[in-house]
Amino acid sequence: MPAQSTATELKHFTTSDFRLENGSLLGEVTIAYRTVGTLAPNRDNVVLVTHGNTSGPQMIDPGGSTGEGSWCEIVGPGKAVDTNSYFAICPNMLGSSCGSTNAASIDPRTGRRYGPRFPDITVSDIVATQRALLDDLGVEQLVAIVGPSYGGFQALQWAVNYPDAMRGIAAVVTAPLVPRERAEGNVARLMAVLSQDPNWNGGDYYDQGGVLESMIQIRTATLKTYGIETRLRDTLTDPTEIEAAIRAEATEWARGFDANSLLTLGKALRDFDVTAQFGRIKAKTLYVLSRTDKLFPPELAQQVMPALKSAGVERRLLSARQRLRPLRIGPRRAQMGAAVARVHGQPWLGTRIKIDTFHPGTRALTLPRNRERRKMRVLRTACHKNPVVVLLCARLRLAA
C-alpha cells in the first residue's frame, strides 16, 4: 500500500528588483509554494504542477476540496504524479492571492497596498518567477510540467520560453492561445460586477469593507457554468438547498480570493498566444481535452494538433472521444467523474494504460469498452520514462 502523502506548509521564495516583460520593475516579489514528496539529492525528480485561475498551491494538498480544483487524487504516493518517486512543486502564480505578490500586497515604495496600481503582468512573467524559484532551489531541469486550464497556459509558455528545462509537459483542458476579444470580454464582465459594489472605490476597497458580495456573485455564476447544479443534484433535490450549497461553496472561495487578482490574471491573458513559437518546443507534449468542457472543447484539436505537427513537436492528443460505458460499483453508479491513467513500462509506443485512480465530484465514472483498449495502447505520456496525468473522461473541468 502506498505511503501517505503530506504536503509541506506553505513556503515562500522572495527576490528583489524583478523586471517584468513590459519593462517595469517590481521591487520585491514573493512566490508561495507547496511541495509533496522528497527532493532527490541530485534534484532531478521534480514535477512542476501549475494551478488554475482561481485555485492555488493547495491543489496538491492531500484530501483537498474537489470544488476548488484539487488534484489530491492525481498527485501523491502511487498516483499519476507518484510522489514516492517524484517531488511535486506547486507555486502560486504571481498576481494571484494565495500567498504570492499581488494587488493586496504592500508596495515597498509607498508602504501601501498596490490595489489597482499593481502592474500589468503576462503569462511569461508568471513562469519567469517560477524559473527564479527553481533556480533558488537548485533545480535545473524538470521531469515534467503538468497543469489544467490556466495551468496549461503556463505549461505551454514554459515549453516555448525555456525549451531545455523539462522533458515533457501535459497541458490539460487548455489551449495555446486566448483570443484577445475573449480575454478583454472576461475582464469587462468582471469589472461590470465589481464596479457596482458600493465598496469598490476604483479598486481601493481594502479599507472600505471589501467586495465580498460581488465576489460571491461572480463565483456563483462560475460554479453554475461549470455544472455544480448537476453535481449537487446527486445528493440534493430541494432547489433551495441546492442554491444554499452553491452560495456556501462560493462564499468559502470568495473570502480567500482577492478581486484585484481576478482582474490581474484576466488581463495577463490579453496577449497570450504561443502558437507562433511551437517550433521552440523540445519537450514531449501531451495535450488533453475534455468532450464536455465549455471553454476548451475537443474541436480545438482540429487547429492545435496540425500546428504542433507542422512545428515538429512530438505530441499526443487525448480528448475523451472514445465510446464509453458506465462502470457500476454495487447497485449504484460510481459517483466519480474523471478517470486518471498511469502509463507503465517501455517502450512508449504500445505501453499499457492502467486505470489508476479517480477524481471525485462529478456525475459518473466511465471507462472505455474492452474493444477500445487496443486503440489506447498507442498513447504516450508527456515525458521519457515518467508517468504523467492522463484524463480519460471528464464531465467538469478539474480546476475552475
Mean pLDDT over residues 328-342, rounded? 28
> Is 168 in the same domain as 203?
no
- Say what the pLDDT of residue 138 is: 97
pLDDT per position as a tens digit, 365-378: 223 333 333 222 22
pLDDT at position 161 over 70: yes
Mean pLDDT over residues 57-85, rounded? 81
* Location of C-alpha cell 503556463: 154
**Which of 266, 295, 322 is the C-terminal boundary of a domain?**
266
pLDDT at position 9 over 50: yes
CA distance 89 to 103: 24
- Give the 3-state secondary structure of residue 111: coil
Between 193 and 65, the higher pLDDT residue: 193
Bridge partners (DSSP) of residue 393 are 339
> Is 378 in the same domain as 252?
no
Mean pLDDT over residues 92-120, rounded? 96
Between 75 and 320, the higher pLDDT residue: 75
Choose the most confident range, by mean pLDDT, from 63-77, 213-227, 247-261, 386-400: 247-261
- Min mean pLDDT across 62-76, 84-98, 123-137, 235-249 is at 62-76
> Is 165 in the same domain as 303?
yes
> Is 18 in the same domain as 120?
yes
> Is 303 in the same domain as 172?
yes
Indicate the length of the chain as a whole number. Answer: 400
**CATH number (domain holding residue 354):** 3.40.50.1820
- pLDDT averaged over every residue in the chain: 78
* Grid cell locating 339: 478517470
CA distance 183 to 177: 10
- Say what the pLDDT of residue 40 is: 96
pLDDT at position 339 over 50: no
Q: 137 pLDDT band (50/70/90 cuts)?
A: very high
Mean pLDDT over residues 331-339, rounded? 27
Q: 164 pLDDT band (50/70/90 cuts)?
A: very high
Mean pLDDT over residues 18-39, rounded? 96
> Is 217 in the same domain as 258?
yes
pLDDT per position as a tens digit, 175-229: 999 999 999 999 999 999 999 999 999 999 999 999 999 999 999 998 888 778 8
Within-domain flag for 4: no
- Say what the pLDDT of residue 225 is: 82
Is the whole model's pTM more than 0.85, yes or no?
no
> Is 168 in the same domain as 187?
no
Mean pLDDT over residues 301-318, rounded? 80
Within-domain flag for 5: no
**Strand locations in the chain (E):** 11-19, 25-36, 46-49, 75-76, 81-82, 87-91, 106-107, 112-113, 144-148, 168-172, 284-288, 315-318, 324-326, 328-329, 332-333, 336-344, 352-360, 366-368, 390-393
**CATH number (domain holding residue 211):** 1.10.1740.110
CA distance 184 to 204: 21
Q: Is the dihedral of CA 302, 307, 309, 314 positive or negative?
A: negative
- Say what the pLDDT of residue 332 is: 26
> Is 191 in the same domain as 122?
no
> Is 57 in the same domain as 166?
yes
Which of 152, 168, 386 shows the shortest CA–CA distance to 283?
168
Q: Which residues contact 55 (CB under 8 A, 6 or more apart)?
A: 68, 69, 98, 399, 400
DSSP state of 8: P
Which of 137, 97, 133 shows the shortest CA–CA distance to 118?
97
Q: 231 pLDDT band (50/70/90 cuts)?
A: confident
pLDDT at position 348 over 80: no
- Give the 3-state secondary structure of residue 195: coil
pLDDT per position as a tens digit, 237-246: 899 999 999 9
**Which of 266, 291, 320 is the C-terminal boundary of a domain?**
266
| CB-based contact 399:93 (threshold 8 Å) | no
Q: Domain containing 59: what range?
A: 11-178+269-393
Mean pLDDT over residues 287-297, rounded? 80
**Which of 209, 233, 266 is the C-terminal boundary of a domain?**
266
- Say what the pLDDT of residue 290 is: 76
Within-domain flag for 274: yes
Domains held by the chain: number: 2
